[in-house]
């Protein structure tokens, strides 16, 4: 594992005007799922669905219409930089995937300490991210770019004022997410961990983590955005063992 100065995955703590009140100091404007101690299924592929369609009104996950931030490498042709939504998510044969545009973000839930797990399929090349603890421009980003010839680095970065902090960005060893894989993303006692299949991709403390929104997104690169398809997702809260300051 090595430390560096840029990040690709987003774990964000706040998005203004997107959530509803909850037991976890939730933003008053939040509308969506709040992680609870029991598992909440956010999506499960319906094999009977065929063709392309919009996310249903009753869907627990939602396309975000507005999200702007600056990642660790503004202007870079591959690493996450300036992000502004111009796309949407929809259903294709029961999978959730980007349906329009090149930069799209999917609101998953609001959470404090949590576990998010499911099955996501990755193909080809491009950039994508998670945001955790996202609230009013503060949180953490987790991002990943899959290069054609130089591997697949992962980055975690703290963000404030909707901008990545250079001195709070960590690069992790390359790991290529191949095809359809189960995964688990968790924040437990303010420690972030990602496991894909049986591989622990990284584990790192989030010193300034607070409750916020969890977001999945794709962003444009010289390769285009990463083609990903979500087969299933579920989330639950974990006991908060971190004492407030």
Q: What is the pLDDT of residues 187-223, one digit of tens each?
A: 999 999 999 999 999 999 999 999 999 999 999 999 9
Residue 2 lies inside a defined structural domain of this protein: no
Residue whose tokens read 């300490």: 113
**Helices within 108-220 (DSSP H only):** none
Q: What is the mean pLDDT of each run of 10 residues along the chain (245 residues)?
A: 40 38 54 96 95 96 96 80 95 97 97 98 92 96 86 91 91 87 97 96 96 96 93 95 51
Residue 245 lies inside a defined structural domain of this protein: no
The CATH number of residue 45's host domain is 2.60.120.560
Residue 191 lies inside a defined structural domain of this protein: yes
* pLDDT recorded at residue 27: 59
Residue 162 lies inside a defined structural domain of this protein: yes
CA–CA separation, 42 and 119 (whole Å) = 12
* pLDDT recorded at residue 87: 96
Residue 3 lies inside a defined structural domain of this protein: no
CA distances to 46, 101, 105, 184 from 118, rounded to whole Å, are 15, 25, 17, 7
**Residue-number span of the structural domain to which 59 is assigned:** 9-237
Residue 4 lies inside a defined structural domain of this protein: no
Residue 158 lies inside a defined structural domain of this protein: yes
Give the number of domains in the chain: 1
Residue 242 lies inside a defined structural domain of this protein: no
């Amino acid at each position: 594992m090595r430390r560096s100065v840029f990040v690709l995955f987003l774990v964000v703590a706040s998005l203004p005007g997107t959530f509803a009140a909850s037991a976890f100091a939730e933003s008053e404007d939040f509308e969506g799922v709040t992680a609870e101690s029991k598992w909440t299924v956010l999506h499960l592929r319906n094999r009977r669905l065929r063709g392309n369609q919009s996310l249903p009104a009753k869907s627990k996950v939602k396309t975000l219409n507005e999200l702007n931030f600056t990642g660790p490498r503004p202007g870079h042709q591959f690493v996450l930089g300036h992000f502004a939504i111009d796309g949407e998510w929809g259903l294709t044969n029961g999978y959730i995937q980007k349906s329009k545009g090149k930069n799209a973000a999917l609101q998953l839930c609001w959470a404090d300490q949590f576990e998010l797990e499911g099955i996501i399929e990755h193909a080809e090349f491009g950039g994508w991210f998670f945001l955790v603890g996202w609230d009013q421009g503060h949180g953490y980003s987790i991002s990943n770019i899959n290069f054609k010839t130089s591997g697949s680095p992962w980055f975690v970065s703290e963000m404030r004022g909707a901008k990545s902090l250079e001195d709070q960005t960590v690069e992790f060893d390359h790991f290529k997410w191949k095809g359809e894989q189960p995964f688990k993303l968790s924040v437990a006692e303010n420690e972030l961990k990602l496991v894909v299949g049986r591989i622990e991709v990284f584990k790192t403390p989030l010193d300034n983590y607070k409750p916020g929104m969890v977001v999945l997104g794709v962003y444009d690169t010289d390769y285009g955005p990463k083609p990903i398809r979500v087969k299933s997702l579920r989330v639950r809260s974990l006991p908060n063992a971190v004492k407030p300051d």
